[in-house]
């Protein structure tokens, strides 16, 4: 097997792609890079090129926040941490800051170990695994060792990788097309493989070595989460029912989405962000062992926090359960959860994704035995095109404290990660947007120590770029601003005056009065009277709404105004 490429090759490719705006040219350059890599480097580069250190399904993270990143840069280049922060305020880019400090450093060893792509990944793995006393010091040292071996350009992209903000405009769409181009396989097969195994490294290596046949053989792997199928807003009850020749109606539960993997007695539970939350939900895991039959299964459902009156509790209570690391049993008693299951993706060695919903429902009914106490149950389905029956179900859902209804196509497959027209949601409130927080401003007067206004952005799916849509800040009370400031303080990556750059990994659910066209923001849109509904801790930046969805809502709003 050929040796690993130098990290400088990766940095060179990144620097060449960074100024390019054409998606076609970006994917072509990435394809050229992929063709020359061995299997190990290809698996690593497929993640690195998107600014990911590890694949999304992997329960691993570096655990290096901005403050420790600054410390590593200072240690590597013999500077004071304050000097790093001062330069960062001027550049607004932690990568460029590291690059300049590397250029200026006189603390350069005579002999350093060669910095390869594999060594970089191996060190990242070590950093992620370090725990216990003095773990942060050890992480700082390992990262500083990499930076000492790096040339200035390498330092730029090495540090951006650690910050998970590569800034070169390569998203999942560009990598999909690059893999297809590099190894002469259909892009739709590459995308299908990615949706099934949730790992572009695996998909790229499979495409290289096994071609179409290998990609076609990729399937779900119990214990490895995949992206969940998403719903689209219905244009109304009558229109929604009319979309399908065979519609079925379910309640839209007021809970948090979970994906449950059963492998014998082992149960793993994943959030919508594909975070493993099993240790926080031992009560749900126990219900799965008791009421789900078969050896292996992957189930889709909603965890609902239930109050003493049997009605759903606030969404934040669910997140308290998801986040809980200690005294989990006590929290389970304080905030009991029920599990409503509505789909099954895998059963005893077979993927069910391509089966129609009607068939998957039969599998689900055979697999799950409902709890007489109502702690685990199947979502009730009503197969009907009768508008009065649909309206009755809708009102029942609202009366029970839930959000509305889902209208689904009985003939539809399960399509991971897609917001298609086979699932429609109908709610009484205006649709909200899930937007990424990219920056903030320090307040004034009595709020001068609080981040009081937040930049919000949708996502361009091909490149992963954030497209700004304005700011949200009005209506947020001081106590909530204090909580948000504490949460974002460790995510600050730059400061210029009152403007603060933030690591873009927090999602706000934002309500608004209207979507307007705007030349002031690179999305081309702005929100009129935006207001924060809640922090979507259950969603990652990749789950945020796309520019296509914003455009769709804008067009729908305009059509509604004309009618």
Separation of alpha carbons 185 and 204, rounded Å:
10
Q: Are residues 253 and 296 part of one domain?
A: yes
Classify residue 356: in a domain, yes or no.
yes
* pLDDT (0 to 100) of residue 479: 78
Last residue of a domain, one of 396, 426, 456: 426
Separation of alpha carbons 545 and 168, rounded Å:
20
Of 165, 205, 211, 167, which Cα lies nearest the Cα of 189?
211
Q: Are residues 444 and 401 part of one domain?
A: no
Classify residue 7: in a domain, yes or no.
no
Q: Are residues 536 and 453 part of one domain?
A: yes
Last residue of a domain, one of 426, 454, 478: 426
Q: Can you give the CATH number for the domain in which 472 is found? A: 2.40.50.140
Q: Are residues 341 and 253 part of one domain?
A: yes
Separation of alpha carbons 5 and 273, rounded Å:
32
* Tens digit of each residue's pLDDT (9 = 90 or more) over 8-36: 999 999 999 999 988 899 999 999 999 99
Q: Are residues 409 and 309 part of one domain?
A: yes
Report the chain's C-alpha Rg in angstroms. Answer: 24
Classify residue 26: in a domain, yes or no.
no
* pLDDT (0 to 100) of residue 348: 93
Which residues touch 2 (CB under 8 Å, ≥6 apart)? 38
- Helices 152-162 and 66-77 meet at what angle, rounded to 10? 160
Which residues touch 345 (CB under 8 Å, ≥6 apart)? 220, 226, 298, 299, 300, 351, 352, 353, 360, 414
Q: Can you give the CATH number for the domain in which 408 is found? A: 3.30.470.30
Which residues touch 218 (CB under 8 Å, ≥6 apart)? 192, 193, 196, 197, 202, 203, 206
Q: What mean pLDDT do residues 38-65 have? A: 89
Q: Are residues 482 and 362 part of one domain?
A: no
Separation of alpha carbons 257 and 381, rounded Å:
18
Classify residue 257: in a domain, yes or no.
yes
Classify residue 278: in a domain, yes or no.
yes
Instruction: Identify the bridge partners of residue 249 per DSSP, sorted by sequence position.
Output: 382, 407
* Tens digit of each residue's pLDDT (9 = 90 or more) over 166-196: 888 898 889 999 999 999 999 999 999 998 8
Classify residue 124: in a domain, yes or no.
no
Q: Where are the beta strands (DSSP E) in 512-561?
A: 514-517, 525-528, 531-535
271 close to 322: Cβ distance less than 8 angstroms: yes
State both tokens at 336: 């009991």
Q: Are strands 507-511 and 514-517 parallel, antiparallel or unpaired?
A: unpaired
Domain count, the chain: 2
Q: What is the pTM of this model?
A: 0.80
Q: What mean pLDDT do residues 295-322 have? A: 91
* pLDDT (0 to 100) of residue 130: 86
* Tens digit of each residue's pLDDT (9 = 90 or more) over 142-165: 899 999 999 999 999 999 999 888
Q: Are residues 290 and 258 part of one domain?
A: yes
Separation of alpha carbons 408 and 295, rounded Å:
28
Q: What mean pLDDT do residues 243-262 have? A: 94
> Percentage of residues in the chain with pLDDT exceeding 90?
58
Classify residue 360: in a domain, yes or no.
yes
In three-state form (DSSP H/G/I as H, E/B as E, the rest C), the secondary structure along 433-480 is EEEEEEEEEECCHHHCCCEEEEEEEEECCCCCCEEEEEEECCCCCHHH
Q: Which of 65-74, 475-484, 519-528 has the lowest mean pLDDT?
A: 475-484
- Please tell me the chain's helix, strand, coil percentages from 3-state DSSP, rounded to the nearest 5: 45, 25, 35
Tell whether the model's pLDDT for residue 420 goes beyond 80: no
Q: Are residues 469 and 381 part of one domain?
A: no
Q: Are residues 387 and 244 part of one domain?
A: yes
Classify residue 421: in a domain, yes or no.
yes
Q: Are residues 415 and 292 part of one domain?
A: yes
Q: Are residues 373 and 245 part of one domain?
A: yes
Q: Which domain holds residue 459?
A: 433-562
Tell whether the model's pLDDT for residue 445 goes beyond 80: no
Last residue of a domain, one of 426, 460, 484: 426
Q: What mean pLDDT do residues 288-295 have? A: 95
Residue 88 DSSP label: H
* pLDDT (0 to 100) of residue 341: 97
Separation of alpha carbons 549 and 559, rounded Å:
15
Q: Are residues 437 and 416 part of one domain?
A: no
Q: What mean pLDDT do residues 424-452 have? A: 85
State both tokens at 551: 């455009």
* pLDDT (0 to 100) of residue 305: 93
Active-site positions? 252
Q: What mean pLDDT do residues 66-84 have? A: 89
Which residues touch 388 (CB under 8 Å, ≥6 apart)? none
């Amino acid at each position: 097997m050929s040796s690993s490429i130098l990290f400088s090759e990766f940095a060179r490719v990144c620097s060449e792609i960074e100024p390019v705006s054409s998606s076609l040219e970006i994917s072509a350059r990435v394809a050229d890079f992929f063709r020359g890599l061995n299997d190990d480097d290809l698996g690593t580069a497929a993640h690195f090129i998107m600014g990911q250190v590890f694949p999304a399904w992997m329960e691993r993270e570096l655990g290096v926040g901005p403050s420790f990143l600054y410390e590593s840069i200072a240690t590597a280049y013999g500077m004071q941490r304050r000097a790093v922060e001062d330069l960062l305020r001027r550049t607004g880019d932690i990568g460029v800051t590291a690059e300049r400090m590397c250029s200026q450093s006189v603390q350069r060893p005579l002999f350093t170990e060669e910095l390869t792509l594999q060594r970089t990944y191996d060190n990242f793995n070590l950093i992620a695994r370090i725990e216990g006393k003095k773990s942060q010091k050890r992480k700082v040292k390992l990262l500083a060792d990499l930076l000492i071996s790096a040339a200035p350009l390498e330092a730029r992209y090495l540090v951006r990788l650690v910050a998970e903000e590569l800034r070169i405009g390569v998203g999942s769409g560009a990598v999909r097309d690059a893999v297809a181009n590099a190894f002469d396989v259909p892009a739709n097969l590459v995308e299908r493989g990615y949706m099934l195994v949730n790992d572009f490294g695996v998909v790229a290596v499979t495409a290289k070595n096994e071609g179409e046949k290998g990609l076609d053989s990729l399937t779900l792997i119990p214990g490895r989460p995949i992206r969940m199928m998403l719903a689209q807003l219905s244009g109304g009850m009558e229109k929604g029912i009319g979309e399908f020749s065979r519609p079925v109606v379910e309640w839209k539960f007021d809970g948090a989405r979970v994906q449950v993997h059963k492998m014998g007695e082992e149960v793993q539970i994943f959030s919508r962000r594909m975070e493993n939350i099993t240790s926080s939900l031992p009560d749900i895991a126990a219900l799965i062992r008791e009421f789900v039959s078969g050896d292996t299964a992957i189930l889709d459902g909603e965890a609902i926090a239930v109050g003493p009156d049997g009605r759903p509790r606030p969404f934040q209570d669910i997140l308290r359960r998801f986040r809980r690391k200690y005294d989990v049993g006590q929290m389970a008693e304080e905030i009991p959860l029920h599990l409503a299951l509505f789909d099954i993706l895998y059963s005893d060695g077979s993927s069910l994704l391509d089966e129609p919903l009607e068939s998957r429902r039969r599998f689900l009914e055979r697999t799950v035995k409902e709890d007489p106490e109502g702690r685990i149950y199947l979502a009730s389905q009503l197969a009907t095109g009768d508008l009065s029956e649909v309206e009755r179900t809708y009102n029942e859902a609202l009366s029970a404290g839930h959000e509305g209804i889902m209208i689904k196509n009985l003939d539809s497959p399960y399509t991971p990660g897609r917001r298609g027209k086979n699932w429609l949601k109908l709610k009484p409130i205006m649709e909200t947007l899930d937007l990424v927080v990219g920056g903030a401003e320090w307040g004034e007067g009595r709020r001068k120590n609080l981040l009081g206004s937040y930049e919000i952005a949708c996502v361009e799916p091909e490149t992963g770029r954030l497209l700004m849509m304005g700011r949200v800040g009005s209506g947020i009370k001081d106590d909530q601003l204090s909580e948000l400031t504490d949460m974002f303080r460790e995510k600050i990556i730059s400061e210029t005056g009152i403007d603060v750059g933030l690591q873009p990994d927090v999602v706000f659910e934002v309500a608004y009065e209207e979507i307007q066209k705007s030349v002031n923001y690179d999305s081309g849109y702005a929100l009129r009277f935006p207001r924060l509904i809640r922090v979507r801790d259950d969603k990652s930046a990749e789950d945020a709404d796309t520019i296509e969805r914003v455009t769709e809502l804008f067009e729908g709003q305009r059509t509604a105004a004309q009618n």
